[in-house]
Amino acid sequence: MKELLVATRNAGKIRELKLLLKEYPIAVTSLLDYPDMPEIIEDAETFEGNAAKKAVVIAQHTGRIVMGEDSGLSVEALGGRPGVYSARYAGEKATDQQNNTKLLQELKDVPMSRRKACYHSYIALADPKGVIGVVSGTCHGIIATEPHGTNGFGYDPLFIVPQYHKTFGQLNPSIKAEISHRSWALKKFKLEFGDYLKRL
């Protein structure tokens, strides 16, 4: 079976990408499958920049076509934070729970009317010569006052999807796979780069 290498060590992200790409006859692998891959310093100021860097660094190291994805949460009342620091909001080695706890602490006196938030996902495709292209997707929601549900990862237990009145942590993964920021980015990715996937 052909293989698509995704430049991430995030197990939750890999689970979602495998689900979203299940229609293709490819094996989705990650840096967890290749422990000798170089570390990637995510020092770009944008999600797009980090996604592109991930893809290019691994593509140049392996000589293959590589997908890079960077995503995160922007909260209106916090001026867009945590933004590109979403995965390490409470510290460089922070757990999801620690990040969620810090977010709730910063929003403790903020009413529901001002807890609007947006999930962002940027997906880059690169080969050893550089970036082939980048697509993006978003999902708008509201930050809950406490965690709900155990599905997903990251800030999912806090991210309320208004039309369902539930957090991503409560929603069935199949529903999240249709409406999430990563889902919308993948839909664009399939439209623009489906031929690459077929030729892997």
Q: What count of Cα atoms within 13 Å lies in the side-chain half-sphere of residue 155? A: 36
Integer CA distances (angstroms), 98 to 33, 48, 92, 188, in order: 26, 25, 11, 32
**Known catalytic membership, residue 96:** no
Beta bridge partners of 123: 69, 135
Residue from 108, 90, 109 nearest 100 by CA:
90
Element (H, E) at 4: strand 2-6
Integer CA distances (angstroms), 148 to 58, 123, 145, 166, in order: 36, 28, 9, 8
Rounded distance, CA 41 to CA 103, Å? 24
Catalytic residue, candidates 33, 43, 70, 109: 70
Give the list of residues 6+ apart from residue 32 with CB closer than 8 angstroms, or none.
9, 11, 14
Q: Which residues are catalytic?
A: 70
